Structure formats: structure tokens, C-alpha cells
Amino acid sequence: MPPMPKGIRKPKDTKKTLLRILQYFNDYRWHLVLVCFLVILSSAAGVVGTYFLKPIIDDFIVPMIGAPSPDFSGLLSAILVLAAIYVVGALSSYLYSRIMITVSTGSLYKMRMQMFTHMQKLPIRYFDTRTHGEIMSRYTNDIDALRHMLSQSAPQLISSLITVVGVFTMMLILSLPLTLLVLVMMVAIFWVIKVVGRHSANSFRAQQKALGAVNGYVEELIEGQRVVKVFCHEAESKQAFDKLNQELNQSSSRANTFANILMPIMNNLSYIHYALTAIFGAIMTIYSGTRDLGIFSLGLGALVSFLQYTRSFAQPITQVSQQFNIILNALAGAERIFALLDEEAEPDDGYVTLVHASLLPDGMVQESETRTGIWAWKHPHQDGSVTYTQVKGAVTFEDVDFGYEENKPVLKGINLYAKPGQKIAFVGSTGAGKTTITNLINRFYDVPDGKIRYDGININKIKKADLRRSLSMVLQDTHLFTGTVMDNIRYGRLDATDQEVMDAAKLANADWFIRHLPQGYDTMLTGDGMNLSQGQRQLIAIARAAVADPPVLILDEATSSIDTRTEALIEKGMDRLMEGRTVFVIAHRLSTVRNSHAIMVLENGTIMERGNHEQLLAQQGKYYQLYTGMFELS
């Protein structure tokens, strides 16, 4: 393959990154020591093996020519020694490759695990401020570059370096004058690498740009292909594509030409070098036969060895020049991986935990070992005493200000209280801050101490995992995982029995369509539940929340993709699900929120109106306008 600097990004701090990569090999340090030793052994065997041609020809073949009874024992033993060297070389090269597989797959496994577990700990903010593609490429492109470097480039780099040094030394030993010729050749080689490399990098950049344009156009037009059809716009889009495609053709041909010509040029430069060496070497050999030339003297065997060396000299240099790009790319990738690993994990200094509890006759709460259906907050105090508060689901906001970015407040002075068992609804247009409120309740984002209380406890004191376990969310974009329908509903509570799962599905009115799936509850869902309609996925998500059976429920546009008829069908189930729980509802469709205890109309981060449906209608304000359709929700 030609060298392909795909928009090479240079690492910022090579040394630091290298040292950090090395840490991953800590478990394999002895493996690596062995690998280094074996690499040296195998390249040395190649170099020394070639050198052996000299004594074999000069000492054991040429002197025998024309001898009446030639003695081949010298030749035989030399060949046997050479055979031993060669076997050692081949064996070491197999062994180091084999060990490197263990080392590279093992350390990459470790790195992937670390990335994934760390990723799970990162705050939602991290995911909200990056595209999925960006994070994915850490796992795919960057890890891949690293893998390439570990399994191929690194050993090759070492062996190339050793070969170059070894060959050069041997050349010096064989003939000083011919080695001077090598130096001249080296200047030429580096010049070619530099010139071709510069052009190649420039034209690859141009190609990358053109490719981006073509791919972008392809993506847009294929996504909108149905619209193209409806408007009979085929001819125009073909024409526009043609233009971009031609531009890509131009730049790509140029870029690939530069990549393609490097190898033949280097290869044939080495042949020119070979020819020059042959001429000078042959002349030196001829004169060496007749008089003493000092450093210019050269035997036939030495010439043969030297010629072999000239062929094996250019190759490692070309290889190193190609590996260099790969290594730089891998290091830059490693830096991005480390950036992910260095990302600060979601802080969790909460110490109030959620426990199963039972109520004593006197109304006291007592911790219980088993699931009772009653939960309590276990609140350890500084003096060592522990108090228990029953989880009821009272949530209060006190003058909460919040913004995802500084100076861009999303919520301003929000005050609200939800009594246990109440249904609180939020309505308002996109960007008004509805979802943000729910993001704060489950601490996807944090606000200063004491602003939000849950059963009277400052939520920043509650351990995040426990806080979230006490809340269940059904989101607008439902996400299903690869696995059966059963697994997906059970995601809400891992120890739920099959019966409990089915009951939850019935509650969400999902049971009927699940039974119609090819394998019922055991139907495999793949690719985020691609084989289900959006409405069906929402029903599964509702069942998932039902099986979790939490005291507080957050429904963020949970029924937006369900048509009004089906919504009416699941209404009973939803009512049962909401019974006895504190529920926060965000809905676009006002019919969903009508029976709430309190409806908050949000606008620009503040609560404009609050009250129940009748009160708000009577008020004839914003809610009234929304409800009568005089206002557009987006």
C-alpha cells in the first residue's frame, strides 16, 4: 500500500504520550524486552548472513577454482554456520510477531475497557457537547491507528533501524570507498523523500477536501432521495454531483500519483546505486588482483556482499519514512484517547443512600434487608448517628438559576414544589427549559447546594446512583439496546421476573403488539430497535419505567410519537403507572397534561403561569392561547 497521510494530525507532546502508552505495557514488560531482543536478533541475522557471502566466496570457492582435488569441508562448515544464523533469524522473527500479538491485543483490550468504563462515568455534559461520531472515532480510528503502530510499525521501525545501522557498519568493514558512494546515494534518497513527501502531503490535503465535499453531497442527497423523486429533480442532482465528482477525480489522481511513484523511484535509485557500485567495485576488484590498493582493495566475495547490501539498504529507509507518518498519526490518536481518559468523571460526593425499609407501627422507618416496596433515605451524620427518612417523592426547587454555558441562563429563578403523588406538567416551546428542569432533578447537571430538595434532603448530598434509582425516566427519544424485548423492559429492574416484565408491558399497553412480534417477548431487537415503530418503542420505554417501580417518574415527551387513539388506549395504564407517584410530565400535546395537579408554562427560562387546567384557561393567558391553538409550539 502506498503511504497515505490521511490529513495527518501531529501529536502535541510526543514524549509524554509515548511514556503514557508505555504504561499500558507494564504487564508485558518482560514480553517487550524479549521482543526487542528477538527483533535485534532477526535483523542482525539478516545482516550477518549477507556478510557471510564474502568469506564463502573469497575463502572457500574462489581459491578452489581449478584445484585438482578441491576440499569442500570449509564450504560445508561455513554453510552450516550460515544455516544456523538463518534459522535463528527466521525463528526470532516468528516469535516476536507472535508475542507482539499477545501484547498488542492485550494492551488494546485494557485500553478499550478503560475508555468504556471511564466513559460511563462521564457527566452528561460531555456527551451533550460532542457528536457521537467524534466519540466513536476514539474507539475506531484512534484505537486502530494505535493497533497498527503496535503490531507493525514499532517492530518494523526497530528492525529497520538495526538493519540500516548494521548494513552501514558492514559496508564500512567491506569497503570504505564504496561506502562513500552510499553516502551520496543517501543524500539523493532523502531529497526524493522530502520532495515527493511535500507534494504528496499537499495533494492529499486537497483530495481530503474534495472527498469531504463529495461525501457530504452524497449523504445529503441520499437522505433526501425521496424528495428528489417527488420533485423529479434527478437530472439536476446528477449534474451537480458530476461536478463534485470530477473535482475529486482531479485531486485524487494527483495525490495517488505521488503516493504511487515513491516506491518505484526508491527501488530504482537503489538499482542505479547497484550499477555504480558494480562499476567501481569491479574495477577495484580487477586492480586488486594485480597490485596492493590499500583501502581500495576488494575481493570478489566482498563485492558480492556489498552489492547485496546496496539492495537491502534503501528498503528500510523507505519503510521508516512511511512508518513515520503512521506513528505520528497513532500518537495523535493516543493523545485523543488520553484526553477522553483525562476527562473529569461525574463528581459524586453524596453520602445519603437509598435503602429498602419497612414502617414500624409507631411510624418510624426501619432499614430492611429485602425489597418491601418502601424505600428510605439513609442519612449518616457527622456524629455517627444515622437517620432514616421515608422516600415519598416531594421535590422542591428554590430560586434555581441554571445555564449550560456561562452567561447564557436557561432557567431563571425557578421555584416549584411537587407534593408526593402529584402530577406536575411543564409546557412551553422548545428551548424554554422544560427538559433542563428534569436534567437537574436527576443531577445530570448540578446546581449549587440546597437549591433543590428531595424529601427535604439537599439532592447534592444524595449519592447519584441512589438518587437516580429512585426516579424513572421515559424520554422522547427512546433508546433500546441490542437484546430481546424482555431484556429491554427488564433494564428498568434487573431482578424483575418474567411475570413482572409482562405485567409492566400490559400496563403500558405494549403486551398486544409484543405478542404479535415473531418471537414475542424473545424477539431480538437490533440497531436501537429499528424493527419497531417509534410509537412501539415508546410503549416499551414506558413498560421499562413501570417495571422499575420508582417513587418519582419523569415523562419527557413520552407519548409524542403515539397517535391520539393509542394514547387514549394507554391512558388507563398510564394513570395506573402514575398512581401514588410524583410525576413530572413534559408534553407537547396539551391533552396529555390536562389532568395534572399543576401546570407550569415555561417561557425563556421562567415560569410564566402556573395552576391547574381550569385555572389557567380562566386566566386567558399564554396557556389559553396555546390551548386554543393561537400559538405555535416548535
Partner 1 sequence: MRKILSLLKGIPLWMSILTPILIIGEVIMEVTIPRIMKDIVDIGIANQDIAYVTLHGGKMMLMALCSLAFGALAGWTASVASIGFGTRIRKALFDRVQDFSFSNVDRFSTSSLITRMTTDINNTQQSWMMLIRSLVRSPIMFVSASMMAFSLNKTLSLIFLIAVPILVAVLVFVVVKAHPRFKVMLEHFDALNGKIQENLIGIRVVKAFVREKHENNGFSKTAAELRDAQVRAERLVIFNMPVLQLMIYACILAILWLGGRMVVFGTMGAGALISFISYVNQILMSLMMISMACTMLVISKASITRIAEVLNDTPHIPDDAEGNPDVKDGSIIFENVCFSYNGDEENCTLNHINLTINSGETVGILGGTGSGKSTLVHLIPRLYEVTSGSLKVGGIDVRDYPQETLRNAVSMVLQKNVLFSGTIKENLLWGNPDADDDTVIAACKAAQADGFIASFPNGYDTQLGQGGVNLSGGQKQRLCIARALLKKPAIIILDDSTSAVDTATDSKIREAFQRELANTTTLIIAQRISSICDADKIVVMDNGRIDAVGTHEELLASNAIYREVYESQQKGVA
- Among residue numbers 363 through 392, which ones bind partner 1 (CB under 8 A)? none
Residues 6+ apart with CB under 8 A from 31: 25, 99, 102, 103
Write the DSSP symbol of residue 122: S
Give the shortest CB-118-to-partner 1 separation in angstroms: 10
> In DSSP terms, which residues pair with 416 in a beta bridge?
397
508: its cell numbers:
403500558
| 343 part of the interface to partner 1, by CB under 8 A | no
User: DSSP string spanning 328-355?
Assistant: HHHHHHHHHHHHHHHSPPPP----BEEE
Answer for which of 8, 20, 36, 86 binds partner 1 (CB under 8 A) is 86
Q: How far is the CB of 505 from partner 1 (least distance, A)?
A: 17
Whether 533 contacts 557, CB under 8 Å: no
Minimum CB separation of residue 384 from partner 1 in Å reads: 28
Shortest spacing between CB 485 and partner 1, in angstroms: 15
Using CB under 8 A as the binding rule, whether residue 565 contacts partner 1 is answered as yes
For the record, the C-alpha cell of 476 comes out as: 422522547
> 339: burial class by Cβ within 10 Å (0-12, 13-18, 19+)?
exposed
Exactly one of 13, 27, 219, 522 binds partner 1 (CB under 8 A); that residue is: 219
Among the candidate windows 62-70, 358-366, 371-379, 412-420, which touches partner 1 by CB under 8 A?
Answer: 62-70
Q: Which is nearer to partner 1, 246 or 415 (CB)?
A: 246
Residue 54, phi then psi, degrees to nearest 5: -60, -60
609 sits near partner 1 (criterion: CB under 8 A):
no
Q: Which long-range contacts (CB under 8 A, 24 or more apart) does 465-469 make?
A: 465/348, 466/350, 466/352, 466/353, 466/354, 467/350, 467/354, 467/442, 467/443, 468/442, 468/443, 469/354, 469/550
Angstrom CA distances, 470 to 355, 393, 442, 490, 513, stand at 10, 9, 9, 16, 29
- Only one of the segments 30-38, 406-414, 561-569, 597-605 lies at the binding site for partner 1 (rule: CB under 8 A); that segment is 561-569
Q: Closer to partner 1 at the Cβ: 202 or 253? A: 253
Asked if 444 touches partner 1 (CB under 8 A), the answer is yes
**563 makes contact with partner 1 (CB under 8 A):** yes
* Site membership for partner 1, residue 195 (CB under 8 A): no
355 scored as a contact of partner 1 (CB under 8 A)? no
Binds partner 1 (CB under 8 A): choice among 31, 188, 205, 224: 224
Smallest separation, CB 206 to partner 1 (Å): 13
Q: State which of positions 254-313 bind partner 1 (CB under 8 A).
A: 256-257, 259-261, 263-265, 267-269, 271-272, 274-276, 278-279, 282-283, 285-286, 289-290, 300, 303-304, 307-308, 311
Q: Which is nearer to partner 1, 17 or 277 (CB)?
A: 277
List the one residue out of 208, 189, 213, 295 whose CA is nearest residue 252. Answer: 208
471 in contact with partner 1 (CB under 8 A): yes
Q: For the CB of residue 514, give the shortest distance to partner 1 in the complex, in Å.
A: 15
Bridge-based pairing of strands 582-586 and 423-427 is parallel
Minimum distance between the CB of residue 162 and partner 1, rounded to whole angstroms? Answer: 15
Rounded to the nearest 5 percent, the helix, strand and coil shares of the chain are 60, 15, 25
Question: What grid cell was written down for 128?
Answer: 451533550
* Cβ contact 35:100 at 8 Å: yes
The verdict on 351 binding partner 1 (CB under 8 A) reads: no
- Rank residues 52 and 324 by Cβ distance to partner 1 and give the closer one: 52
- Which amino acid does the sequence have at 184? V
d(CA 459, CA 446): 9
Give the H or E element holding residue 124. Answer: helix 124-128
Provide the Cα torsion 567, 571, 577, 583; round to 10°.
80
Report if residue 562 touches partner 1, rule: CB under 8 A.
Answer: yes
Which of residues 94, 190, 191, 404 is near partner 1 by CB under 8 A? 94
Q: From the CB of 614, what's the least distance to partner 1, in Å?
A: 9
Phi, then psi, of 432 in degrees rounded to 5 = -75, -20
Nearer to partner 1, 412 or 594 (CB): 594
Please give the grid coordinates belonging to residue 553: 417518574
Which of 27, 242, 343, 367 touches partner 1 (CB under 8 A)? 242
Q: Which C-beta is closer to partner 1: that of 75 or that of 341?
A: 75
Tell me which stretch binds partner 1 (CB under 8 A): 183-191, 215-223, 324-332, 405-413: 215-223
CA distances from 430 to 11, 372, 467, 587, 607 (A): 41, 40, 27, 11, 14
CA atoms within 13 A on the CB side of 313: 29
Tell me which residues in 115-154 interact with partner 1 (CB under 8 A).
116-117, 119-121, 124, 127, 132, 135-136, 139-140, 151
Site stretch for partner 1 (CB under 8 A), options 106-114, 375-383, 405-413, 448-456: 106-114
CA 217/CA 223 separation, integer angstroms: 10
Q: Least CB distance from residue 563 to partner 1, whole Å? A: 5
Q: Smallest distance from the beta carbon of 168 to partner 1, in angstroms? A: 20
- Nearest distance, CB of residue 239 and partner 1, angstroms: 10
Residue in 234, 367, 498, 579 binding partner 1, rule: CB under 8 A:
234
Nearer to partner 1, 86 or 324 (CB): 86
Give yes or no for residue 8 binding partner 1 (CB under 8 A). Answer: no
Q: Does 26 bind partner 1 (CB under 8 A)?
A: no
Total residues at interface with partner 1 (CB under 8 A): 151
List, as one string, the DSSP characters of 575-610.
Answer: HHHHTTSEEEEE-SSGGGTTT-SEEEEEETTEEEEE
Distance CA 103, CA 27 (A): 9
Could you tell me which stretch among 329-337, 371-379, 407-415, 557-565 binds partner 1 (CB under 8 A)? Answer: 557-565
591 contacts partner 1 (rule: CB under 8 A): yes
Sheet of 386-390: strand order equals: 365-367, 353-359, 375-380, 386-390
Q: For residues 492-531, which are near partner 1 according to CB under 8 A? A: 492, 494, 527-528
627 is an interface residue for partner 1 by CB under 8 A? yes
228 contacts partner 1 (rule: CB under 8 A): yes
